[in-house]
Structure 1
């Protein structure tokens, strides 16, 4: 499948909250390292469209993903890349990828206009949790480290209920949690 709707809920965590959740819920979960490489046009055309573009390196694979607004969450469009294609993208020569290119063209964005902005390394743990996927992330980027809890669901109402109950049970205050790419851009602009 080259497209899917992502329904997720997320909340930034303090180190103490992260450690508590890691101990209570994720003590047997494998930690997976993934790297997100981010792209944007000089005029921030993706941001203007409420969209984001990344390549995720995970377990020796490279997946180009365009995220766009969708009524139920985010519409994700994917293309698998070879290592050679990945290296071309990150060295400043993005190549057309059929699914993502088609979506970009709907926004009047050509891949040649995209610039590589940098990367974020995330150490991720995942567990099934009350018919959802619960994710604990610690991310490192641009001399910054943060942690977040994510919950992915197939239904917005069920996901919201499970997520709200979980953070309430752990007495974690709800925090405005921009997507990883927005946190990356905010930090880059602050430097």
Structure 2
């Protein structure tokens, strides 16, 4: 069980901008495949609190991550699980322990209310420079393909400066960040219905 504060900057890219960055910068030649499996309650209790939960499969390993808003970025609570526990989550029998369970309790979200909604697969390329990690993602979900640039930093100031400089250098429009889980759920009819009901 681990917790960390994630400081990241991101923007969705057009395919042409994605290709430009891929060819111009020293991203890894081979993409790493990872799949996020997303969960929510019927009434979107996590979304209403600016939070989200997923299980990520990478290299045949599974990690549950709860993301919550934090004044310095995003608070992430991680719990490694085995394939049997992963299948329990998919089958509607989620289990969690320690800090993850405590965080969900604090959000007044019951484990048994979390429902599996689907998955998003990302092909990720990265490189690191000056303590900054640059990430180029191609994601596939519900018949959609999209592209994204992320920059992860230790310092908000350094990260923002480097991110803005990179976008300026390659004449890329800075768009309001939309997380993968937000893009995934917005592709679901059930999410759109719920979103309209809230209005």
Q: Same fold (TM over 0.5)?
A: yes
Other-structure match for 1:113: 113
Other-structure match for 2:46: 46
Other-structure match for 2:72: 72
SS in 1 for 2:126: strand
What is the alpha-carbon distance in structure 1 between the residues aligned to residue 118 and residue 159 of structure 2? Answer: 31
How big is each residue's C-alpha offset from its partner over 1:113-160, in whole Å with a ceiling of 9 and x where there is no partner? Answer: 100000000000110033200000000001100000000000100000
Deviation at 1:27, TM superposition (A): 4.9
Other-structure match for 1:17: 17
Deviation at 1:91, TM superposition (A): 1.6
Q: Does residue 1:154 correspond to 2:159, yes or no?
A: no
What is the alpha-carbon distance in structure 2 between the residues aligned to residue 44 and residue 62 of structure 1? Answer: 23
Contact residue 27 and residue 125 of structure 2 kept, 8 A: no
Contact residue 28 and residue 125 of structure 2 kept, 8 A: no
Deviation at 1:166, TM superposition (A): 0.3
Could you list the structure 1 runs, at least 4 aligned residues long, displaced by more than 2 angstroms after superposition.
26-30, 96-99
Residue 139 to residue 26, structure 1, CA distance change in 2 (3 Å): farther
What is the alpha-carbon distance in structure 2 between the residues aligned to residue 29 and residue 130 of structure 1? Answer: 20
What is the alpha-carbon distance in structure 2 between the residues aligned to residue 33 and residue 99 of structure 1? Answer: 28
SS in 2 for 1:138: strand
Contact residue 6 and residue 74 of structure 1 kept, 8 A: yes
Q: How many residues align?
A: 191
Normalising by structure 2, report the TM-score. Answer: 0.92
CA RMSD, aligned part only? Answer: 1.4
Contact residue 37 and residue 118 of structure 1 kept, 8 A: yes
Structure 1: gaps (5+ residues): none
Other-structure match for 1:181: 181
Normalising by structure 1, report the TM-score. Answer: 0.96
SS in 2 for 1:137: strand
What is the alpha-carbon distance in structure 2 between the residues aligned to residue 34 and residue 46 of structure 1? Answer: 23
SS in 2 for 1:184: helix
SS in 2 for 1:120: strand
